[in-house]
Amino acid sequence: MSTSPTCLQEITEHDPMPALADLRILLIQARNTEDIRIQEQDCFREHCRVRADQITAVKVQSDPLDPDMLNDADVVMIGGAGEYSATRAYPWMPALTDLIRRIADRGMPAFGSCWGHQIIAGALGGHVIHDSALAEIGCGPMMLTEAGKQDPVFGNFPQRFLANMGHHDRVSELPPGAVELVVSETQGNQAFRMGDLPIYGTQFHSELDASRMRERFYRYRGNYPELADEETFHALQESLAETTEVDHLLHDFLVEAVTGR
């Protein structure tokens, strides 16, 4: 897997903006492979534009999900999960669901990307389904809803923008009180906010730029039948957008979480 620096990596060689310099981020991960677990941490660091020491990562399969860990964090983020589905029950799922509900009860800022988006939605009363017919892999156009245009995080996005993604599961029904912010040409619920709470989810990968997404494609190619054909695989690689508005989404979210509370 390539580890050459991206533009975002170069940006984060410097200290984050003062408002974020002391922010403590709890990153919840569900990754079986150490290389991708570390890569995911790097991706969140790059897109949040924070230092590595500001992120504490926990692994749902082996680390205890003690609610007291929230006392040592300002923001919670939940990443993807190449080997797991938000539609299935795992031994650690009740503890994760309880933790997300406690986050909502506290009104604590939280952001879920891809699987994290689905996990937050399911924990707070929404519904997640496996839907291979509407799987999205590669780069595709997203559109803001009317609520998205007024949202403090998405409000500066253009009406139509590109996002990089890869998923077979999707949120078919949002939790009660959630606000749909982004849709695609084939499905809704691409991004949501939990009412007036600073809790967001995006079905697309908000922590991945094109180069990082290519790393994931190579690593998880066997998980996606769509990527088996060489011509299709190459075309999807080439379709990824090098720079989109999504590249600054996590940083914008953190700034809003700090300054908008």
- Domains of the chain, start order: 7-259 (3.40.50.880)
- Which residue in 136, 167, 207, 251 is the catalytic one? 207
Rounded CA gap, 89 and 148, in Å?
Answer: 32
Rounded CA gap, 63 and 101, in Å?
Answer: 18
Range among 27-36, 68-77, 251-260 rated most confident = 68-77
The pLDDT mean for the chain works out to 87
DSSP characters over 122-159: HHTT-EEEE-GGG-EEEEEEEEE-HHHHH-TTTTTS-S
Comparing 257 with 225, which gets the higher pLDDT?
A: 257
What pLDDT sits at residue 227? 66
Closest of 166, 188, 183, 156 to residue 239, by C-alpha: 166
Whether 130 is catalytic is no
pTM over 0.75: yes
pLDDT, one tens digit per residue, over 175-206 is 999 999 999 988 999 999 999 999 999 999 99
CB 145 within 8 A of CB 184: no
What pLDDT sits at residue 152? 96
pLDDT at 221 over 80: no
Whether 117 is catalytic is no
Rounded CA gap, 130 and 172, in Å?
Answer: 9
**CA end-to-end distance (rounded Å), the chain:** 39
The count of C-alpha atoms lying within 13 angstroms of the C-alpha of 96, restricted to the half-sphere facing its C-beta, is 29
- Which residue in 43, 47, 48, 114 is the catalytic one? 114
- Which residue in 117, 168, 205, 251 is the catalytic one? 205
CB 211 within 8 A of CB 7: no
Beta-sheet pairing, 25-29 with 75-78? parallel
The count of C-alpha atoms lying within 13 angstroms of the C-alpha of 183, restricted to the half-sphere facing its C-beta, is 12
Whether 251 is catalytic is no
What pLDDT sits at residue 258? 84
